[in-house]
Structure 1
């Protein structure tokens, strides 16, 4: 899948299978390439999800402002240098580009590797996440801002709620509701693992 130029935010998800005994070496390399991506223009954030079981892959998440920023990272000399510095002992086994709201829900390994949740479920989960934030803001923050005009209060509250929503409330709601949002992933986790190979796309990682 190739993100459209005006398709909004893009989240890149990559799964890497690491040879036993090389986990620390891979983690150092993975964090170096994620740090490089974080410093790249248009990157909104990155994440590294270690496996719950040693036999499972590691998961890398890179969140970009739009398709142009994503493509700029893919073709950047910095990314090429990071890939060239890889020492081996790990192999890309899955890659997905998640567009728009789908990327918000990729904060867990189960969410990232499963099919995107239906939009109505994402809307419901977002409501669960944002409801306590707006309630808390109205109870504890708004009374202290009564002297300000409505527009000024809104401009102050919006970034606070947005940050808490992105980094705290929504990841927590996704984890609590993961079996409902991603039932296929829950079934796959409960079932005995089957060996499966995914073709790598566009490089060994990221």
Structure 2
């Protein structure tokens, strides 16, 4: 069984006439979730004081712990008590590299037990390597050509400069591009 932590993001709309009730309801849900094994944290925010769109995040240690919470009678009761004034709009589940380096390519509304599969760690490692290797080689050739005496700099300084330059490129350009190109391989549809 995969022990990857899962973060769930839920967007809800709230009846503007029942903000006080919705605030208490939201906090009650968080308080209930904290009692479940594997709960790692949560929070919620409103889009603005005059807005009806609210966002809640919660994180569980793994899929089994999350499923235990999502199928619990306490959660079912809690959701039912808010059904008259809070309406779920969309849900996202994030784990692994797709949660850190890429925007989701599609938003899907999910129900308990139906999430998109998380790519195995080895596929995530291959994806990172496919972005990192060519970028690192290109950078090494470019900097050796542009910076006289580059090879004479202490190794720690060269690595520091290299990582300072390449980390933003990897995060914002290479990994989103590579994960987008490999999305069918990373998460094949069943």
Of structures 1 and 2, the one scoring higher in RCO (CA 8 A, sep 6+) is 1
Structure (1 or 2) with the larger CA radius of gyration: 2
TM-score (norm 2): 0.50
TM-score (norm 1): 0.46
